[in-house]
Structure 1
Amino acid sequence: MSLGDDTGRTRTRLPEAGGDPYGGARRNGRSSSRSLVTVVGVVVLLIAAIAFANRGGGDSDAEEGGDSPKAAATAPTGEKPIASGFAHDRQGAESAAANYSVVLGSAEMFDKEQRRDIVTAVFTPDVAAARQGDLDAAYSNQEFLANIGLDKSGKAPAGQTFVSRVVPVGTKATAFSANEATVEVWYTSLFGLSGEGSTNPVTESWYTTTYQLQWIDNDWKVVDFQQKDGPVPVGRDQKASTADDMTKAVEEYGGFTYAR
């Protein structure tokens, strides 16, 4: 996630591994276990968590075993993997920002080919072309991948599932014209590895990202964004799910293509 500095450059906030084992007490979203990995000059929305894990289940045929749920693909549901064709109005700009939060915060961003498709679809052409190399370097950083428990290819260890999903809670357009819009997206995110033996269990965080959008080629595209923590709600005293329950949830509940 990017944060501007006095030089006009963009800093990228990436999540780092850490946290209590599965089954422990609920963690605070502002826990000190989350730290910063700064990448100068990279425009990337890696939300410290949401949208799809990088493994899935079977097809959409009839389920086996009666009422037993069939594992659904954890790729987003919907006809298009990356939402597009938003209305040329204020609501369309808000919808674009919400949906771009989902795909930019997804586990697919850790796959080189899928990441390039996402960046091309989400950003304006000039921004996308200028940032692809920086993004490839950021997401292939071996120290960063190791810290979050992934191998050099961005894959989870055997028996574990990488979870990175963003769930938009609300949007607000703070500025709007025919060709430009500024939209704030408030969301919660899930990030970590589910499965037995995970040293980076799935945790939740809360953020607000402000997007600068431009109307180009008959659609809203991202020019830049800034992210900040919160608002963070008061947590309830709910016991954390077991590794097995979390893995089943990730496998059986697919993410969404269309967020709003």
Structure 2
Amino acid sequence: MSPGDEDGYGNDAGRADAYSTIGGTRQTRTRLPDGPAGDAYGPRRPPRSSRSLITVIGVVVLLLGAIAFANMGGGDNGNGGTSKDNGNNKTGAAPTAATGTKPVTGKNGTIPSGFAHDEQGAESAASNFAVALGSADMFVSSSRQAIVRATHDPAVVDKLIKNLDAAYSPGFFENVGLNEDGSAPNGLTFVSRTVPVGTKVVEHVADSATVEVWCTGLVGMAGEGSTKPVTETWFTISEKLKWVGNDWRIESSSQTEGPTPVSGDNRASSADEIAGAVEGYGGFVYAR
């Protein structure tokens, strides 16, 4: 699975609209609030209005660090996403029930570390890495470098950081509604969060593992007057992990859109409510 095989960032770079194939296949509908007076979003719009710029680029913004340039030599495991048994370990989706194993207590910067050298440890590592790589901290140079160093194999770090610094350009920031330096406009809060929904071990042998993490995410600008409201995205990231320095690290990764559920009829909150929720509810780390 590589960016060249999917409707991802890399393959669209040479088209007039680099994100058209992603937005054109999206199934998620965004319902905006009603009201005669309206709020920052105005009255409810038809379902087609969900194809705003921020919706179209959602998958690219979330986990850009993991898909755009992290695929060093390809993350395609060649098995089409099906479980593989190598004779030593049974792989596949894990139950949602608690395992009874205590979560890790170590940290590498702000990211959990010290994962177990087994399938469960690989799943926990992959999920935590997805959360970090899909965070708003990836849009700040200093924190982006720290995240990349904490999550990736040292052998690919330097090249990855160089490529990401080029990818997070003033033009890219402008496209997502940020200032040229990556900061949010006054009165607005930029939101980029990833939430793992489930994991599946595709392959696991000794010191390597391939884990798929099914995720939902939030991306957009929260606050009164926002023209790019926070929307949801659904995607699956495949991480090829390597056991390095007594912990799991990403060797390469790729991302595909979905699986995407049918959107519910929940009334969308106002811009101020979303901004308040973002400020009032912090993120969290994942552990089985």
TM-score interval, smaller chain: 0.7 to 0.9
Do the aligned partners of 2:136 and 2:190 also contact (CA within 8 Å) in 1? yes
Do the aligned partners of 2:170 and 2:182 also contact (CA within 8 Å) in 1? no
Q: SS at 2:126's partner residue?
A: helix
Number of the residue aligned with 1:253: 281
Q: SS at 2:66's partner residue?
A: coil
Q: 2:171 is matched by which residue type in structure 1? A: E
Match of 1:188 among 216, 219, 222: 216
Number of the residue aligned with 1:53: none
Number of the residue aligned with 2:192: 164
Distance 1:205 1:223, change over 3 A: same
Question: Aligned partners of 2:282, 2:224: CA distance in 1, in Å?
Answer: 21
Deviation at 1:32, TM superposition (A): 6.9
Match of 1:45 among 48, 59, 66: 66
2:218 equivalent to 1:218: no
Q: How does 1:22-171 map to 2 (within 5 A)?
A: 22=41, 24=44, 31=51, 33=53, 34-35=55-56, 44-45=65-66, 80=107, 81-139=110-168, 141-171=169-199
Question: Aligned partners of 1:137, 1:112: CA distance in 2, in Å?
Answer: 11
Deviation at 1:239, TM superposition (A): 1.3
Question: Aligned partners of 2:174, 2:197: CA distance in 1, in Å?
Answer: 31
Deviation at 1:3, TM superposition (A): 3.7
Question: Aligned partners of 1:26, 1:254: CA distance in 2, in Å?
Answer: 32
Q: In structure 2, list runs of 5 or more residues that go unmatched.
A: 13-17, 24-29, 33-39, 69-104
Question: Aligned partners of 2:286, 2:160: CA distance in 1, in Å?
Answer: 25
Deviation at 1:258, TM superposition (A): 3.2
Q: In structure 1, list runs of 5 or more residues that go unmatched.
A: 48-77
Deviation at 1:248, TM superposition (A): 0.7
Deviation at 1:22, TM superposition (A): 2.8
Question: Deviation per CA, 1:80-118, whole angstroms, max 9, x where unpaired?
Answer: 421111100000001100000000000001111111110
Q: Which structure: greater helix fraction?
A: 2
Deviation at 1:234, TM superposition (A): 1.2
Distance 1:228 1:251, change over 3 A: same
Match of 2:270 among 219, 238, 242: 242
Q: 1:168 is matched by which residue type in structure 2? A: P
Please give the TM-score of this superposition, normalised by the length of structure 2: 0.68
Distance 1:182 1:35, change over 3 A: same
Question: Aligned partners of 1:250, 1:29: CA distance in 2, in Å?
Answer: 23
Question: Aligned partners of 1:46, 1:158: CA distance in 2, in Å?
Answer: 30
Q: 2:189 is matched by which residue type in structure 1? A: T
Question: Deviation per CA, 1:189-216, whole angstroms, max 9, x where unpaired?
Answer: 0000100111111000100111100001
Distance 1:94 1:255, change over 3 A: same
Question: Deviation per CA, 1:150-187, whole angstroms, max 9, x where unpaired?
Answer: 01111111111110000000000010011110000001
Number of the residue aligned with 1:65: none
Q: SS at 1:201's partner residue?
A: coil
Please say which structure displays the higher CA radius of gyration. 2
Distance 1:255 1:28, change over 3 A: farther
Number of the residue aligned with 1:207: 235
Do the aligned partners of 2:210 and 2:241 also contact (CA within 8 Å) in 1? yes
